[in-house]
Chain A
């Protein structure tokens, strides 16, 4: 059976999740990547129409189109490399109370510690599978920070069973990609 998280996401909903588990997300989701993180963490600016607390963000820069009636819709949205947000993510978690962070690949130590300390998880969505993801966006509800350009703006979406999301950092501080990296490294050591 599909395990579905629904926003607002409580600590209860995620505390038993383990790395490697596959989940889906239903509810509200906003894109937030490099410049968005800078804005929140450095400039202390919060979006007006999106609640980070107990919420979910995705490291992603989408392609947004307009339909015949001029209404914006999600053409294509996939995750971008989460590791780029490593320098800011721990502060982001602490300052906003975000619960679910979605992205591509894993994140490092500081984020892992913050997830454990503040009760958050990081999930990996299969990179590049952007049309599949766009089909799971029910409605594009708004956008903020358009001055940053289409990829960097904060797009607010209503999603239904958005996934597959593989838990890559759990609330106990386990890190799937760090574990995998160790395995890859052992194989590398045998090679050279």
Chain B
């Protein structure tokens, strides 16, 4: 690909990455403000106010709203007619490096089993990149997520006996959030995946986390479970930040797949009050459109 076009491509992804660290996506900020409004406990209000002040200071000073800008994860959905298929990987890596050094984001990535920090958030398998091909399409739909440490800690995946059923799923989720929720900076976004094995359930739970707040599963039974688990978790009252209040979560999403009748795989992935995810569409002429942060970028 032509070098100046390549630089344009890198710039777009770099800016998109920096933006994801500085602003919350519209749905998360909206929901956070709603929780603040509905909160009645004084101490809890103070904590929400501190978060909301943090959001405006981050915007104003153009700085990452949380110091833990995570490990950068990109989810690529690309049309087979997108002209720069072969360049995507190197562009994402370069954009991640530049966004880290120039925004700056925190260089988190350390080498496997070591303390040696690579200094720019790249390394083997970092940034994390996942691909989905869209036959015949010509756009690149790029989503990203900043996987912070604290909010990644509760993540787990387990295969239940099918007989444990919905009650088993609920208990596993409630127990996990009870044990690990406080340190993940609640109110949380909870993604739950239901599949056959531990691996696919975990992947589905990530997909669930990436789905915007306010969307519900297309399967009525699953959508009902989303509501029930959300209500159940809220009744624990862990948010904000484990100090205790009227909520625990910003949202619960479930992605369920058709599965083996002898297993009930359940994956859990959590995001914090500062769930930083972004979505951009990049067209084949490299013009682009931000989907996730329309409101955040208005001012």
Residues of A that sit less than 8 Å from B by CB: 20, 22, 35, 60-63, 65, 75-78, 80-81, 83, 104-106, 124, 126-132, 134-135, 148-152, 164, 166, 177, 180-181, 183-185, 187-188, 191-192
Contacts and interface: CB of A to CB of B under 8 A. Distances in A.
Contacts, number: 149
A150 B117 contact: yes
A168 B116 CA distance: 33
Say which size band chain B's interface belongs to. Answer: 35 or more
Contact of A130 (B43, B54, B170, B273): B54
A132 B55 CA distance: 9
Interface of B: 43, 46-47, 50-51, 53-54, 57-58, 61, 63-69, 104-108, 110, 115-117, 119, 149-150, 153, 167, 170-171, 174-175, 178, 182-183, 185, 232, 235-238, 240-244, 272-274
6 contacts: A80-B149, A105-B241, A124-B242, A126-B47, A181-B182, A183-B244
Contacts of B274: 128
A11 B213 CA distance: 47
Contact of A180 (B68, B119, B244): B244
Nearest to A188: B178
Given A63-B67, A63-B104, A128-B274, A151 B117 contact: yes
B105 A63 contact: yes
B178 A150 contact: no
Given A105-B182, A149-B115, A150-B106, A63 B64 contact: yes
Nearest to B46: A164
